[in-house]
Structure 1
Amino acid sequence: MKQIMNVFGNRYNSVRTNDCDNGRFESFAANRRNLTRQFSIVDSFFHQRKEGERTRYPKYNFFLMAVGLILICLGVMSHMCNPYMLIFKWKLIFENGGEIFELWRTPPVDLYIKIFLFNVTNAEQYLEGTAEKMVFDEVGPYVYRELLSHENITFYDNGTLYTKPSHPLVFQAHLSAGHKEDDVFYLPNIALLSIAQVASKHNYLIRLPLNLLIRQTKTVPLEKQTARQFMFGYETTLTTLGNTFLPNWISFNKVGLIDRMYDFDNDFETFYTGVDDESLSGLYESYLGSPKLAQWEGDHCSNIRNASDGTKFKSFIKDEEQLLFFRKSMCRAQRMVQTGSNHEVDGLQATKFVFEENALDNGQIDARNKCFCRKGQCLARGLIDVTDCYYGFPIALSYPHFHDSDPSLLTKVIGLHPNESLHSSFFMINATMLQLPRGLRNRFLFYLKYLRIFDRIMYFLLLVGGSLLLLYAVIRVALSVSLSLTSNNISRKNKKISKSERCAENRRHSLLKNNSSKLEKGSVQEREHFLT
C-alpha cells in the first residue's frame, strides 16, 4: 500500500509539481516564446505592447500612413488627369444654360465697327473726262456698335445646333470723331453700277428701257450722297425699276453697301456644340445648309467647316496651327496663322494671329488660290471678285488702301497710302480683351489664370502633404519599436526573477505537503496499533 502511494505520488509530482526541479518549466517557456508572434514594425501598426501583452485597437500610425498614401495618390491622379482641363472641357460644351454657351449666344462684349469712306474730290472733272485718275480722300471713322447674337437656337442630336444670326448696327456718334451720318460726299452710285452690270447680260428689250431711264434721270456713276445713304441705301427710281423688270434679281427697294453686307434676314447656320469634340464648340458645321460656299469651287476656296464667326475660336490651339475665320461680308473663309509672338492682354497671355500671306492672291503666287478666279477671269493680286455674293453687284474686296496688293493698282488712283501697321488685320486670341465687362473679365481671369495656378498648387500640396504624413507615421513607428524593445528586455528580466521565486515557492509547498502526508500516515499507523 505504501509503495503504491509512493508511486502515485511520484507520478503526480512529475506531472504537476516537479517542473522546476526537472528544468521543464524553462524549456516550456522557451518553446512558448518561439511559437508566439514576435514584435515587428508592421505589427506596431496594428498592436501595441503593454507590459508584455498585445492589445488590438485602431492605431494613429496606421491612420496617418493611410491618409498619406491617399494624398500621394490624389496628387499623382491630379497631375495625370488635370482637373483644370476637365473643368475647362466641361465648360466648353454648348447646352441650354451653359456658361460658355450663353456667352456665345449673346456676347456681352462691346463689338465696334469702324467704317472709313473715300470721298472722290475730283468727281466732276473725272466724269467730264478732264481728270485721268480719281483722287480719294479718306474720311471717318463712322463707328457702329454691332449687337451680335444668335437667335432661334435648336439643338440637334448629332452634336450640332441650328441658329439664325443677327447683326444689327447702332451708330455711335460719340466715338465717330465728330463725323455724322448726314455728311455729304461724292461717292459711287451703287444702284446705277449694279443695275448696269446685271442688265448688260440681258437682251436688248431689257436694256433699252433702263438706258432711257438712266439718261432721263441724269443718273451718274459718281454722285453726292450722305454717308448713311451710301452705307445703308435709299429708295431710287432705278431700284424700283429693277424690282419691276428683274423680279428675280433683288427683293429689296434700296441698295447700300453696308446694308447688303449685313443682310442676314434669310440666313441660317449650324455650329458644333462640342459634345463629340470640345475644341470645336462654337465653330461652323455648315452655312445655308452646306459646309461649302456655292460661289467657289474646290475645298480650299469654298470650305467654311470648322471656321469661327469671331465669337469663339477653336480651343486647345497647338503651335503652328492655322485657324479659319468666316464672315458673310468677306464671301470666303480666311486662314489665320500664328506670328510666333505672345502678348499680355489685361493680365492674360494671348497669341497674335494674322491673315496668311497673299491671302487675296488669285493664283499668281499661290496656285491653291486659283479657285478664287470668277468664271476663269482673275483680278489683280489683292482683289477678290465677290460679285456672286452681292446679287451680281460689280464689287471686289481688298485690304484698306490696297495693302498687300499688286502695286499697279496704286497707279490707277491718287490718295491711297497703304500702311501695314494701320491696314493689316490681326487677332489676339484668348478669353479676354481690354474692354471686357468687369464681371466677365474676373470670371475669365479665374478660369484661365487663377484656376490653373490653383491646380498646380493643389498638386504640390497633395504630394508634399502626403509624403510628410507618411514620413511622420514611419518615424512614429520607429520610435515606438525602439521603446517597446527596451521595455520588453526589462520585462523579461523581471519574468526570470519571478519564475525563480515561483519555483522556490513550489518546492516549499511540495515539502510541506510531503511532511503533512507523512505525519498523517504516522497518525493512522499509531491509531491502528492502539486499536490492535
Structure 2
Amino acid sequence: MVSSAMKTGLFLGFGSVLVLIGAIMAACWPPLFMNQLMKMMIVTNESMSFEMWREPPIPMYLECFLFNISNVNEILADRNVKPHLVQFGPYVYRETHTKANLTWNNHNDTLTYFNQRWWHFQPDMSNGSLSDNITNVNPIVVTVAYDLRYNSVFEKTVADVFLRLIHENMFVTANASSWLFDGIDDPLLTVASHIPFLPREIPYDKFGWFYDRNGSLTFDGSLNMNTGASDFSQLGNIEMWRYSNRTMYREECGQVRGSAGELWAPELGQPEVYVFAPDMCTYLILSKDGDNIVEGVTGVQYAANDSVFDNGHKYPHMACYCGEVRDADCVPPGALNVSACRFGAPAFVSLPHLYHADPHYPSRVDGLHPTPEHRFRLTLEMFTGMPLQVAAQLQINFLVRHYEGMSLNNQLPDDTLVPMFWFRQEVQTTEEYAHQARLALRLRYWVPYAFYALTAIGLILLIPGVVILYKRRMNSSSMEPIIHSDAAAADTQ
C-alpha cells in the first residue's frame, strides 16, 4: 500500500514539475521557433534555404503577350487614325534560374552573385505559334527619333533621310520568335552607327525583347544581397546592383532596395513590401491587398495599386521619377519612363493593358481591356516569409511623339503610347512546399497548446495532492489528546 504521504508527494511533485515545464516552454516556444526558423533561412552554405535560393525547385513560367497593330494601311492613309491592337499569345516559356559567381562578403553579411536564366518554349501551354506574324512600330525608328528630340531641325532632317533610305514607314512585321528571343534583323542597326548626332551607341545587332538574354550570365547585372546573418529582418534585400547602391533616378527613387522576390524575412503583415526590378532600374512598392489562400495555406497578398507608376501627380513622394523640372518628359501617371535604363529607347513600363493608367493613354489606342487581374501580385505566408504565389506582370510601351523634321516617325497620332508587349512571370508553391509550410505553422501554433495542456495536467495533479495534504493535517490535528479540567486540577495538586 502507498502511504498518503507518498501520494501527496507524488501528486505535488509531478504536478509542480509539469506546471513549471509547461509554463516555461509555452512562454519560450515562440522565440525558440523563430530561432530555429532563422537557422534554416539565413543564407549560408549549409542552410536549408541556400539550395532553394540558388536553384529554385518550384516550376516557373514566363507568359508573353504581343500586341499586333491590325490597321496599318488605314494609319498610313491618315495619320490621325488610332492604332487598333490585337493581343496574341500567351507564348509560354519554362524558366529556370541559377545563381553564379557567388562571393561571400563576411564583413557585412552580404552575398554578391549573378542571376543566370534560361527559357524553354512550351508549345503545349501556348496559344499560338512562334511563327505568328506580329506588326507593331519599329523600335529602332522610334528610338532614333526620341534620342534626337532636342536636336536641331536640320540634324533631325538629316537623320530622317538616313531612316528613309532603309524603311518606307515606321512599322515592322516579324514572327513572334523574332520579337521575343531570336531578334529582328534590321539594317538600321548597322547604319545607326553612321547616323550623325546620335548621342549614344546602340549595343545590339538585332532587336528582341529578350534577345541575347537566354543563358546570359551578366545581363541582369551583379546583385549584392543581404544574407540576414546580422539583421534577420533584412534577409533577401538587395543592397547593391551593378556594384552601386544607386540607380540613375534621383533622390529616393534611385535607391537600390527591396527583395529580388525569392527570399523574404517573416513580414508579420506590414502594409507594403518592396521588390527590386533590374529591368526597370528601380523598385516596385506593393501594398497590402487582403488574404489569399494557396494550396491550403493562408497568406497576405500584396498588389500594385495606382501609386506604383505615378510620378508625383497624385503621390508627391513619387515625383523623383521625373526630373527636377516637370517638363515634356514627365508624362501623365500610370507609365514609368525607363528610357535611361533602356539605352535611350522611349520605353515606358506600365501594368498590362494600361491598368491604373491615366485615361490619356488608353484614349490614344483601341483594343485594350484592363482588369484587376492585370495587377502585379505577390502572396507571402507571414510567419515563415514563404512566397506562396507570384504574378509578376508588366507591360512595355513605346512613346511616339511628333518631332519636326522626323517625317518617318510621325505616322501615328501625336503623343501615342503604343503597347508593344506584356509578360507575366508566374510562380505558385507546390503541394510539397505547401505541406512544409503547413507543418511549420502547426508547430508554431499547436505546440504552445501542448504546453498549455501540460500545465493544465500539472494543475490537475496538484489539486488532489493539496486535498490529501489538507486532509492529513486535519486528521493529525483531530487526533491530538484533549486534556480534561479535572485531570489538569489533579496535576496541579
Instruction: Provide the TM-score with structure 1 as the length reference.
Output: 0.71
- Mapped to 2, the partners of 1:125 and 1:105 lie a distance apart of 51
Contact 1:108–1:437, Cα closer than 8 Å, also in 2: no
User: Post-superposition shift, 1:67?
Assistant: 4.1
Deviations 1:357-388 (A, max 9, x none): 33212222222222111574311221211101
Supply the distance in 1 between the matched residues of 2:241 and 2:154 (Cα, whole angstroms). Answer: 37
2:430 is aligned to: 437
Return the alpha-carbon distance in structure 2 between the equivalents of residues 387 and 275 of structure 1. Answer: 37
Aligned position for 2:459: 467
The residue aligned with 1:291 is 245
Three-state SS of the structure 2 residue aligned to 1:414 is coil
Q: 1:130 to 1:191 in 2, by over 3 A?
A: closer
In the TM superposition, what is the alpha-carbon distance from 1:269 to its structure 2 partner?
A: 0.7
Alignment of 1:359-398 (within 5 A): 359-374=308-323, 376=325, 377-398=329-350
Residue in 2 that maps onto 1:325: 275
8 Å CA contact retained: 2:295, 2:431: no
Q: Equivalences for 1:217-296 in 2 at 5 Å?
A: 217-218=166-167, 220-232=169-181, 233-242=183-192, 249-259=201-211, 265-266=218-219, 267-293=221-247, 295-296=248-249
Map of 2:132 onto structure 1: 183
Task: Indicate the residue corresponding to 1:122 in structure 2.
Answer: 71
How many pairs align?
A: 427
For residue 239 of structure 1, what is the amino acid of its counterpart? L
Query: Tell me, what secondary structure is at the counterpart of 1:467?
Result: helix
Aligned 8 A contact 1:283 1:314 in 2: no
Query: What do the CA deviations read for 1:397-429 (whole angstroms, capped 9, x no partner)?
Result: 12222221221222211222322x232222222
Name the residue aligned to 2:263.
Answer: 312
Residue type of the alignment partner of 2:440: Y
Residue 446 of structure 1 is aligned with which of 436, 439, 442? 439
Q: Map 1:40-59; keep pairs closer than 5 Å.
A: none
* Counterpart selection for 1:425 from 349, 371, 376: 376
C-alpha distance in 2, partners of 1:243/1:470?
A: 90
Aligned mates of 1:417, 1:437 — CA distance in 2: 31
Structure number with bigger Rg? 1
Conserved 8 A contact 2:174-2:184: no
Identity rate of aligned residues, in percent?
Answer: 23
Q: Measure, in 2, the Cα distance between the counterparts of 1:79 and 1:123.
A: 71
Alignment check: 8 A CA contact 2:269 2:300 kept: no
Cα deviation code 1:4-48 (max 9, x no counterpart)? xxxxxxxxxxxxxxxxxxxxxxxxxxxxxxxxxxxxxxxxxxx99
Question: Once the two structures are superposed, what CA deviation does each residue of 1:438-483 show, in whole Å capped at 9, x if it has no partner?
Answer: 43232222112x2123322322132123323434544555566678
1:259 & 1:215 partners in 2: Cα distance?
26
Confirm or deny that 1:167 pairs with 2:117. Answer: yes
SS at match of 1:351: strand
Shift of the 195–170 alpha-carbon distance from structure 1 to 2, 3 Å rule, reads farther
CA displacement, residues 466-519 of structure 1 (integer Å, 9 cap, x when unaligned): 323434544555566678789998xxxxxxxxxxxxxxxxxxxxxxxxxxxxxx
CA distance in structure 2 between the aligned counterparts of 1:316 and 1:411, rounded to whole angstroms: 40
Contact kept? 2:296, 2:434, Cα under 8 Å: no
| Structure 2 equivalent of residue 102 of structure 1 | 51
**Conserved 8 A contact 1:192-1:219:** no
Do 2:4 and 2:468's aligned partners in 1 also have CA atoms closer than 8 Å? no
Q: Structure 1 CA distance, aligned partners of 2:465 and 2:39? A: 39
Show the counterpart of 2:82.
Answer: 133
How has the CA–CA distance of structure 1 residues 189 and 92 changed in structure 2, closer, same or farther, with 3 Å as cutoff?
same
Distance 1:244 1:479, change over 3 A: farther
Q: Distance in 2 between matches of 1:112 and 1:207?
A: 42
Opposite residue 453 of structure 2, the aligned amino acid is L
Contact kept, 8 Å, 1:150 with 1:163, in 2: the verdict is: yes
The 1-side partners of 2:150 and 2:46 are apart by 52
* 2:402 equivalent in structure 1: none
Indicate whether 1:405 and 2:357 are aligned: yes
Conserved in 1, the CA contact under 8 Å of 2:75 and 2:82?
A: yes
* CA distance in structure 2 between the partners assigned to 1:127 and 1:253 by the alignment: 28
Residue 129 of structure 1 deviates from its aligned partner by 3.1
Q: CA deviation at 1:208?
A: 8.6
Displacement of 1:196 in angstroms is 4.2
| 3-state SS in 2 of match to 1:353 | strand
SS at match of 2:211: helix
SS at match of 2:185: coil
AA aligned to 1:93 is I
Distance 1:308 1:80, change over 3 A: same
Cα deviation, 1:325-355, whole Å, max 9, x if unaligned, reads 121223321111113x323222211112122
Q: Which runs of 5+ in 1 are unaligned?
A: 1-46, 50-58, 490-532
Contact 1:94 1:273 (C-alpha < 8 Å) held by counterparts: yes
For 1:193 and 1:466, the matched residues in 2 are separated by: 78
Whole-angstrom distance in 1 between the partners of 2:92 and 2:101: 28
Measure how far apart 1:180 and its partner are: 1.3
Matches within 5 A, 1:17-166: 62=9, 65-81=12-28, 82=30, 83-129=32-78, 132-157=81-106, 158-166=108-116
- Higher relative CO (Cα under 8 Å, sequence separation at least 6) belongs to 2
CA distance in 1, matches of 2:168, 2:265: 48
Alpha-carbon displacement from aligned partner over 1:249-293 (angstroms, at most 9, x marks no partner):
243322212338887625111111111222221121221222322
Give the structure with the higher percent strand.
2
Answer yes or no: is the 8 Å Cα contact 1:361–1:382 preserved in 2: yes
Aligned residue identity for 1:426: R
Letter in 2 for 1:378: C
Q: Choose between structure 1 and 2: higher helix proportion.
A: 1
Whether the aligned pair in 2 keeps the contact of 1:261 and 1:329 (CA below 8 Å) is no
Quick one: which amino acid aligns to residue 432 of structure 2?
G
- What is the distance in 1 between the residues matched to 2:194 and 2:217? 24
Pair 1:184–1:342, CA change in 2 (3 A)? same
